[in-house]
Amino acid sequence: MNKASLQTRLLLTASIILTVFLGLTGTALFQAFQSSADRAEQGKLEGQLYGLLGAAELDSAGKLQMNTDLAEPRFSLPESGLVAEIIDEQGKLIWQSVSTLGMKRPPLNVLGVDESRFQRLSVNGSAWFSFSYGIAWVDEQDKEHRYSFRVMESPEAFNQQAEQFRQTLIVWLTAAALILLVVQVMVLRWSLRPLRRIEAEVHQVERGEREQLTEDYPRELNGLAASLNLLLANERRHLQRYRNTLADLAHSIKTPLAVLRGASEADNEQQEISQLIAEEVDKMDNIVEYQLQKAAAAGRKSLTGGVEILPVARRLLASLSKVYRDKGISYQVNIDEPATFLGEEGDLMELIGNLLDNASKWCDTKVSITVKNTPSDNDVVTHNKQVIIIEDDGPGIAEEQAENLLQRGVRGDTLAPGHGIGLAVVREIVKAYGGELTITRSEMGGARVEIQL
């Protein structure tokens, strides 16, 4: 069952529900039919009994006499399945129909005037229908005579009719169940077609036949397709970034290695060689650190709940307050508590940590961090926008220097002095998350770094 397809599970569940529903429906219909047939049988027996009342009369002696020519011929046929009898107020049998010949019947109880009973009585192992009625007759001397009439009918015809109805009901309910199951299969296949299509597109991505999924799915699956496309794009960016990083690293250390090789071959003083080697080693160390941090940027993720920004910012500011204790910096935090960063916590710390460190280093007394979430009109979370702004009241960054820092392809060994690897790492992380980085003049007087993710 755990490995069964969604279609099989839904079809099995629908079949069970349909079977139970149709079973209960069939039971209810059959019970309703039996109740209606019972009422019809009672009405028929009442009619037979009233016919007997019409054929009965009192003679001059006050005795009840029955007309031998009854309207219902079955009363005159033995074993016809329809019998009648009359008793007086002492329970003595006054009259019985010819059809009772050789038949053992349950006793008839004396009934009160206008008292009637409809019931089923056991006769030879069968539950016969019985209708009894009590009446009072007044003779010519105004003397009252009470009698109890009873008409009984065999259930054979009723049972045959009920069985025929039951079989017809089973046939029609079974046909309805089969038709509904066929319709259910068609509905399920049509409903699950987008899932089969997204599965086929994933296989095409695995085989390299396409780069991403289409996003023209039903609204419930559109978010999944967008998240998968984001995941695929991140994986491709990661792979490309690792390749570029290796190429950049190999290219970047060529010059320091050449300098070291030349220094080892040149006839220079030992102190100059040691100083040159130390400088080139530091430069290579910075290059390697920068390239590794650039390659480690994870990229945006929409399949996780994200990282709350406010706690991370508070931890970073607590550390920076200790580092720059002598400057007495006033940190302003404008971050909504539910604001989250859809990515790795390490990327978030590198992102705002480097910017806050630069701002703390160059500010006079004030640094602020602001995070704004802008919900999109779409219900897909991957389309939400987030703005991170970090400002200070220091000297700021010159316009030409800012443009140089934001140029594509600027490597760690050619970054502007004073801002080092940190801002370059921020730039690479922003690129990994498909965002934008701008550097302008802050209203506080210093630099204003704005990131849109």
Q: In a 10 Å sphere around its CB, with 0-12 CB exposed, 13-18 middle and 19+ buried, how is residue 74 labelled?
A: middle
Cα distance between residue 145 and residue 62, in whole Å:
8
In this prediction the pTM is 0.48
Provide the pairing of β-strand 330-335 with 366-374: parallel
Torsion of CA 182, 185, 186, 189, to 10 degrees: -170
Q: What is the DSSP letter of 74?
A: G
pLDDT value at residue 287: 62
- Asked whether the beta carbons of 196 and 204 are under 8 A apart, the reply is no
The pLDDT of residue 383: 47
- SS3 at position 301: coil
Tokens (6 digits) for 68: 């031998």
The CATH superfamily holding the domain 307-452 is: Histidine kinase-like ATPase, C-terminal domain (3.30.565.10)
DSSP H or E stretch at residue 149: strand 144-153
The residue whose two tokens read 């970090």 is 390
| Cβ-based burial of 345 (10 A; exposed 0-12, middle 13-18, buried ≥19) | middle
Give dist(CA 386, CA 345) in Å, integer.
Answer: 16
pLDDT at residue 305 in the model: 57
Mean pLDDT in runs of 10 for the chain (453 residues)? 70 87 90 90 91 85 81 87 91 90 87 91 89 89 89 91 91 91 87 83 80 78 79 75 67 62 60 66 64 56 68 88 87 85 80 89 91 62 73 85 62 44 76 84 89 87
DSSP E strand stretches across 203-352: 307-308, 330-335, 340-341
pLDDT of residue 200: 85
Q: Hey, where are the domains in the chain? A: 11-161, 219-296, 307-452
Output helix, strand, coil percentages for the chain, rounded to the nearest 5. Answer: 55, 20, 25
- pLDDT score, position 179: 92
Tell me, rounded to whole angstroms, the distance of Cα 56 from its chain centroid.
74
For residue 202, give every residue at least 6 positions away whose Cβ sits within 8 Å of its Cβ, in sequence order, or none. Answer: 213, 228
Domain spanning 11-161: CATH 3.30.450: yes
Whether the Cβ atoms of residue 226 and residue 383 lie closer than 8 Å to each other: yes
**439, 423 in Cβ contact below 8 A?**
no
pLDDT at 190: 87
Among positive and negative, which fits the CA dihedral 290, 433, 318, 450? positive
Give the helix/strand (H/E) hosting 196.
helix 193-206
What would the 3-class secondary structure string for 50-68 be? HHHHHHEEECCCCCEEECC
